[in-house]
Amino acid sequence: MHDPLVIAGREFNSRLFLGTGKFPSNASLEAAMVASGTEMVTVALRRIDVTAEEDILDALDPGRVLLLTNTSGADDAEEAVRLARLARSGGYPTWIKLEITPEPRYLLPDGVETLKAAEILCREGFTVLPYVNADPVLCKRLEEVGCATVMPLGSWIGSNQGLKTKGAIEIIIEQSLVPVVVDAGIGAPSQAAEAMEMGAGAVLVNTAIGTAGDPAAMGAAFRKAVEAGREAFLAGLPAVGRAAAASSPLTGFLTS
């Protein structure tokens, strides 16, 4: 079945986005990319150094994956916009994962600054994918200024705690006109499947794959989970109910 994810007019056959931090080597990152089947990979501009002998970008095959640079480390809208413009002037794709996380411990996103930066970057022609708290109203506001997706967190980055914000993400999915990418906190393939079953357009995973004993094998496991979750969503999951539902009708004897 042809079921591509479409973001800003571009089709993706994989609904698994991959973050590139925390991997033990470029080789392991490369292997995980292949095994996961991902077509969208995000790289922090803070890690890019094309003057170095070996750079994180060396692991990427631009023919196979779209490079989504991110503004990790930016404190405010001004810094994020500056980073995005630098990426564009460096010849990188104008797809930007907007991350404004002024608080370096939990790396929680600053919604106020994110909206400000998104507005500027969308106006300047960037394809903006903002990382945000699971805030349905903020997601609508970001959609209104022209963001290509919204990327609410499941729980805070790197926590592997899964969908702590499930209720809010359900509302975001219900209301959103753009794809919803669950972006952080997904620590196990089952959690990725859960997000996809809920109707998320895609998930972004990093820590769970990058720090796994075998990142490539974990990438493959996530690939299957994301596909399974998506298929279940499309198939129409039966509703979960508290009351028993007999498989043979209890009122079948009533003939009229």
Partner 1 sequence: MTATPVALESRPEGVPQQSAAADLLATGLAAALASATTATDADVDRALRATRRSLLDLGILLSPAAAPRLEEMAALAHTASVRRFGRVVRLFAPLYLSNECVSTCTYCGFSSENDIARRTLSPGEVAAEARVLRERGFRHLLLVAGEHARVVSKDYLVDCVAALAPDVPSISLETQVWDTATYRRLVDAGCEGLVVYQETYDRDTYAAVHLKGKKRNYEWRLAAPDRAAEAGMRSLSLGALLGLHPEWRADVLALAAHAQALLRRWWRCEVAVSLPRLRPAAGGYQPARPVSDREYVQILCALRLALPDVGINLSTRESPAFRDAAFKLGVTQMSAGSHTEPGGYVEPGGAEPQFEVSDTRSPAAVAEAVRAAGYEPVWKDTIGARVKDASSAVQLRP
Catalytic sites, residue numbers: 97
Residues 141/182, Cβ–Cβ less than 8 Å: no
Closest C-alpha among 158, 157, 231, 221 to residue 196: 231
Tokens of 4: 């591509």
Residue 185 in the binding site for partner 1 (CB under 8 A): no
Instruction: Output the six-digit token pair for 78.
Output: 């001004």
Q: Does 111 bind partner 1 (CB under 8 A)?
A: no
Cβ pair 65, 56 in contact under 8 A: no
Does 158 interact with partner 1 (rule: CB under 8 A)? yes
Question: 11 or 58, CB closer to partner 1?
Answer: 58
Side chain identity at 229, as an amino acid letter?
G
Is residue 52 part of the contact set for partner 1 (CB under 8 A)? yes
* Residue 238 neighbours by CB distance under 10 Å: 7
Name the minimum Å distance from CB 138 to partner 1.
20
For the CB of residue 221, give the shortest distance to partner 1 in the complex, in Å.
Answer: 18
Give yes or no for residue 26 binding partner 1 (CB under 8 A): yes
In terms of CB distance, is 159 or 175 closer to partner 1? 159
Residue 22 binding partner 1, by CB under 8 A: yes
Structure tokens at 117: 């930066």
Q: Please check whether residue 130 is in contact with residue 147, taking contact to mean a CB–CB distance below 8 angstroms.
A: yes
Least distance to partner 1, CB of residue 109, Å: 14
71, 100 contact by CB (below 8 A): yes
Residue 237 has which token pair?
């999951």
Query: 4 or 90: whose CB is closer to partner 1?
Result: 90
DSSP string, 75-95: -SHHHHHHHHHHHHHTT--SE
Stretch 72-91 residues interacting with partner 1 (CB under 8 A): 73-75, 79, 82-83, 86-87, 89-91
Under a CB-based contact definition with an 8 Å cutoff, are residues 26 and 210 in contact?
no
For 172-216, where are the E strands, in sequence order? 181-182, 202-205
- Whether 221 and 35 have beta carbons less than 8 Å apart is answered as no
| Subset of 201-220 contacting partner 1 (CB under 8 A) | 207, 210-211
**Does residue 48 bind partner 1 (CB under 8 A)?**
yes
Q: Tell whether residue 92 is a contact of partner 1 (CB under 8 A).
A: yes
Q: Smallest distance from the beta carbon of 86 to partner 1, in angstroms?
A: 5
Characterize the bridge pairing of strands 5-7 and 10-12. antiparallel
Q: Which is nearer to partner 1, 12 or 23 (CB)?
A: 23
Considering CB under 8 A, how many residues would be counted as binding partner 1? 38
Window of 44-52, 133-141, 144-152, 236-244 that interacts with partner 1 by CB under 8 A: 44-52
What's the closest the beta carbon of residue 90 comes to partner 1, in angstroms?
A: 3
Nearer to partner 1, 47 or 164 (CB): 47
**Residues at the contact surface with partner 1, assessed by CB under 8 A:** 21-26, 44-53, 73-75, 79, 82-83, 86-87, 89-92, 102-106, 158, 160, 207, 210-211
